[in-house]
Amino acid sequence: MSMNTDKAYLLGLIIGGGIFGDAEDIFRIRLPFKKWGSYLENSQRAGQISRDIMNVVSPMFRNIYNLIVSFEATENIWNILCEGDTTALKTDLENYGIPCDGEVRANADISKICVDLVDDNLKRRFIAGLADSIGSMAKSQRRFTDDNQILSLEIKGHNFNFVCELCRLLHDINCIPDQVNWNHPNIHCTNDPYYRTWNKQFKLRILLDQYARFGAFAFRTKAESSNENRELQQQTHVAQPCPEQRMNVTPSCVHPDENNMLLPEQIRGGHYIHYRHFCAVLGCEHAPFDKVSSQFSRLGELVIPFVIQCKDTISRINTIIANDPLLAQRNYTDVSVSVSSLLTQFQSDSNGLLYGTDSDNGYPINEILQTTAYIVADSNELFGKRPKGYIEIIKRHIQNDPNLSVLFRKPDLLTPLVIVGNERGALIGAVNPKVYEKLITRSPDNDFKLIVRPITEEDLRDA
C-alpha cells in the first residue's frame, strides 16, 4: 500500500513510541508524557489525552490497518495498545526497513520512509506523529526563560543517523532545529569525565514559534500546550538556518565513554567540541562546516584531556586520584590558600591562570573560585553539588571569617589541582594548549572527526 497522509502520521507515532514484543497480534505505542500527562497532576489534560487517543488515533488505525486501539495510563506513561492482525502494518514497516522488534526508534532507519514522504504535507504529517508521541513541551524545555519556548523531540538510544535524518526532515518543512543535544558524553558530561551517567537521550529542540508556524499536532492536548507556552513569550522567534546560527564553543573534557561500544562506529572514538560538530561528522548538508573547521585552529584550548571541574566528597576525590596512575604518581605540595586572595585575583582577571609554567598554562581562577565556593558552602547554599551563586557564597563566608582558607594540593606536573576542605574535595584541570594540541589528530576516514590520544607523563614533562 502506498504512502498517504494518515499513514505518514501513524508511522510517525509508531517510530516515536512503538514497541513490539513477542505477541503477534498486539503492539503498543508508549507516550512518555511523564508529569505533563499525569492524571494526578492535571486530570483535565489526562482526560483530553484519552479523547485524543480515541478520536484521532483509534479511527485512523482502524481505517488504515484494521487494528483496534485501546489505552492504559500509569502515573507517568501512557500506552496506546493496538490489537488485531498486525501483518499489514509489519509488512509496511519491514518494506521501509524498520525492524518490528523491541523499541522501534532504537534501531529505526527512516531514510526509506523519507523517500516516500514526497511533499511537505506528508513530511508534516509524519512529524506530527512524532511530535504527538515524543514531543515534550514541559517547562524544563524552555531556553533560559519563559520567553524562549521549545518543543523537544526526545529520543532514547544511540541512533545518531535517525536523529540526523529527522533533523533533515524538519529542515525540509522549515522547522529548523534550535539545538540538538546528542546522546553522547561530550554533550551530557562536558566538564567531568568521572560522571558516567551521560547515557540519557537525544533531544532535538525546536523553537515552538517555528514549529507552530510550519509543523503540526494532531493531539489537541499538544496543540493546547503549544499555545499556552507560546503565550508566555513576550515576542515571537524565528529560527535561523544552521550555517548562520552562532556557534559558541567552550572547552570540553575527554570522556572515557567516547569509546563506548553503544555508540555507532561513525561516532565512536571521536571527541566533539560542539553539538554542531556532530552534524559535520555525520555529513549533514546543513552543518556549519566552515564554522566547525575554524575552531580546529585552537583545539589545544578546547579539548582538555583531564577533568575540567569535578566536585565531590573528599573520599570520592581520593578514590579518583588513586585509580588514575598519572594522578596517583604525582608529588603533591599542600598549600593553604586564603579565599579572599582568590577572590581578589578573580576580580582583577576572571580569565587568569594560577600555578602555570608558562603564560598560557595553569589552573583557571574562575574554575578554582567555583569549586572553592562548593568547598566552603553550607549545605543550604548548595543545590546538589552546585553552589547557589558562587561569588555571593564566597563573599558571605569571607565576611564571616576574613582569614578563611582552603587546602590546595598542587601536583608536580600540570595534572589536576586538588582542593579540599569541609569533608569535600574538588579537581580542577589545567589549561595547557600547547601540550593538549599534540594529542589531537584527524580520523583518516572523516576529516571532521577528532581523535584524542591519552595524555602521558612524558607529554607534560616535555612541555
Binding stretches for another protein (CB under 8 A):
2-7, 55-56, 59-60, 62-64, 116, 118-119, 121-122, 125, 216-220, 223-224
Closer Cβ to another protein, 3 or 375, answer by number: 3
Smallest gap, in angstroms, from Cβ of residue 228 to another protein?
A: 12
Query: What's the closest the beta carbon of residue 152 comes to another protein, in angstroms?
Result: 20
CA-based nearest residue to 56, from 221, 213, 225: 221
Rounded to the nearest 5°, which phi and psi values hold at 265? -55, -40
Residues with Cβ within 8 Å of residue 56, at least 6 apart in sequence: 218, 219
Question: How is residue 300 written as a grid cell?
Answer: 589545544
State which residue, 116 or 301, has the beta carbon closest to another protein: 116
228-232 LR contacts (CB < 8 Å, sep 24+): 229/137, 229/142, 229/149, 230/149, 232/146, 232/147, 232/149
The CB-of-218 to another protein minimum distance in angstroms stands at 5
CB of 65 to another protein, least distance (A): 11
Pairwise CA distance, residues 346 & 416, whole Å: 19
First to last CA, the chain: 66
Nearer to another protein, 129 or 411 (CB): 129
- Which of residues 27 and 219 has its CB atom nearest to another protein in the complex? 219
For the CB of residue 114, give the shortest distance to another protein in the complex, in Å. Answer: 13
DSSP E strand stretches across 239-330? 252-253, 303-304, 309-313
Q: Which is nearer to another protein, 223 or 247 (CB)?
A: 223
Query: Closer CB to another protein, residue 160 or residue 217?
Result: 217
Helix extents (H) in 71-193: 87-95, 104-107, 111-116, 120-134, 160-172, 185-188
Region of 82 (left: φ > 0; alpha: ψ -120 to 50; beta: rest) is beta
* Strand arrangement, sheet containing 179-181: 135-136, 150-155, 202-207, 179-181
Contacts of 44 (CB under 8 A, 6+ apart): none
Least separation in angstroms between CB 128 and another protein: 8
- Considering the complex, what minimum distance in angstroms separates the CB of residue 117 from another protein? 8
CB of 62 to another protein, least distance (A): 6
For residues 307 and 290, give the distance between their C-alpha atoms in angstroms, rounded to a whole number.
29
Question: Measured from the CB atom, is 68 or 322 closer to another protein?
Answer: 68
* Phi, psi dihedral angles at 269 (to 5 degrees): 85, -5
Query: Measured from the CB atom, is 208 or 353 closer to another protein?
Result: 208
**Amino acid (1-letter code) at residue 297:** S
